[in-house]
Structure 1
Amino acid sequence: MGDLIQTISLYALPVIFAITLHEAAHGYVARMLGDPTATQEGRVTLNPIPHIDPVGTILVPLGILLMSKMMGGPPLLFGWAKPVPVNFGRLRKPKQDMLWVALAGPGANLFMAILWAIGLRLMFEGGAGMDSFWFQMAIVGIQINLILMALNLFPLPPLDGGRVVFSLLPNHLAWQYGKIEPYGMMILILLLVTGVLWSLLQPFLAFGNWIVQMFL
């Protein structure tokens, strides 16, 4: 029980901020590009409370942690916050600006991974032991943010990567591609339970690791 409590305390802060700041970034960029919807609903904030989804931000990550502990494997956490409302029709250039709104979330995760990496380096240079609580939390922060970045860049609607592809495709292909969205989460779950998803995410994870290594 003590090990479980320690694991939860290590993961709680990185997971909550990785998920909630991802959503806040979407709203912030949408506001910059003409859509104030998220701001009007109080979602462009660093306060995680308005973003927390009881299932996606707490129960799912906690459940994965518990299963990982029981199975003895490393926890490959993922989760979600309440989606930030974006009215793409209010963006100045809806289809083009969708690209930047979509990339804002994974970009925020990469930025947070870099911040955790800088913190890790400063602790190491300051003589902190590798088994210290904050040192281990920084490692978790890097891992969680890179996983969420990679997952959200996967080019499957309604993930951010799917929005990016939709934005880049010619209109007639984009609308055809968008028809996948109602089935996107089912496809994602199928890829996850079959173990295929993590193999497909490797290029995105490798890119994120390459960036983060520059700051270690």
Structure 2
Amino acid sequence: MADLGAQAHILSIYLIPLVLAITMHEAAHALVADKLGDPTARQLGRVSLNPIVHVDPVGTFVLPGILLLSGSPFLFGWAKPVPVRFGYLHHPRRDMALVALAGPGINIVLAIAAAIARHGAVNVDGALGEWITGNLDAFVNVNVVLAVFNMLPLLPMDGGRVLNAILPPKLAWQHAKTERYGLLILLGLLFLGPLLGSIWGMRINLIDPILRPPVEFVFRWVYILTGWGDPLG
């Protein structure tokens, strides 16, 4: 029962930050796409802060829940992708990169805002104060990791979109062909290590050495800008 209580407490702290971070991430993609000439997302109701139109049951709830309750060092997920029609954009390659950057960009802004708000939350006493500060800490953590995770240079991740936009056309065409394998590679990084580790009796985490350095770098700058927490803690 104690374990269940602890898990419920952790979920109560991370659920709201995770849903808000993913919702704002996708809404930012949709808004920037609309401003740059593609009305598709707006017509589908995706320029919205309503989580219901963005969340994906597996990516928003199941995967983060598994990672959280399994003690994963990183918590991340995804929502339903925002549809972008390349040909509608005013300057297709440049604008596709801007649309891709909008999601991680808003996550960094949200992390900084939550870190600033954290300073005021310490004045709230008791269990409510602990819950609020816990949520704000989780909001910083989730947004930083979500931003870095989405900037992995794999298609269909945002980082893959940006890389594709800046590559020379011939290389961009070859890179675009890798999109069919991107999610398989990502799932392999997430789950192959733990699977092999359970077979061999070892702890293997393939995603940690990839994500940790850039995550720590971003945390350090959030700390420098806001004075929030321990930059590596």
| TM-score normalised by structure 2 residue count | 0.84
Residue 144 of structure 2 is matched in structure 1 by 146
1:63 is aligned to 2:66 = yes
1:154-193 deviation digits (Å, cap 9, x = unpaired): 1111100000000001101100111111101111122223
Counterparts of residues 16-95 of structure 1 (less than 5 Å): 16-68=19-71, 76-95=74-93
Equivalent residue number for residue 198 of structure 2 = none
Aligned residue for 2:209? Answer: 199
Amino acid in structure 2 at the alignment position of 1:198: D
1:186 and 1:146 map into 2 onto residues whose CA distance is 23
What corresponds to 1:71 in structure 2?
none
Alpha-carbon shift at residue 212 of structure 1 (Å): 1.1
Contact kept, 8 Å, 2:73 with 2:208, in 1: the verdict is no
Q: Which moved more, 1:57-66 or 1:33-42?
A: 57-66
Closer, same or farther: CA 172–58 of 1 in aligned 2, 3 Å: same
- Please, which runs of 5 or more residues in structure 1 have no aligned partner? 69-73
Moved more, 34-43 or 129-138: 129-138
Q: Deviations over 1:79-126 (max 9, x none)?
A: 1111111112110111111110000010111111111101112223x3
Computed over aligned residues only, the root mean square deviation of the Cα atoms, in angstroms, reads: 1.8
Deviation per CA, 1:104-149, whole angstroms, max 9, x where unpaired?
010111111111101112223x365798111111111111111111
- Which of 94, 97, 101 lines up with 1:96 in the alignment? 94
| 1:157–1:163 Cα contact (<8 Å) kept | yes
- Pairing 1:9–2:12 present: yes
Following the alignment from structure 1 to structure 2, what is the Cα–Cα distance between the partners of residues 129 and 75?
28
Residue 196 (structure 2) aligns with: none
Contact 2:40 2:85 in 1 (8 A): yes
1:16 partner amino acid: V
Query: C-alpha separation between the residues in 2 aligned to 1:34 and 1:208?
Result: 31
Distance 1:155 1:128 in 2: 43
Runs of 5+ unmatched residues, structure 2: 194-204, 228-233
Query: Between Structure 1 and Structure 2, how many residues are aligned?
Result: 210
2:221 corresponds in structure 1 to 211
The alpha-carbon deviation at position 75 of structure 1 amounts to: 5.1
The answer to whether the Cα contact below 8 Å between 1:157 and 1:178 also exists between their aligned partners in 2 is yes
The one-letter code matched in structure 2 to 1:200 is I
Q: Which deviates further from its counterpart, 199-208 or 16-25? A: 199-208
* Greater length-normalized contact order (CA 8 Å, ≥ 6 residues apart): 1
User: Quick check: 2:154–2:182 contact (8 Å CA) kept in 1?
Assistant: yes
Q: Name the amino acid aligned to 1:18.
A: A
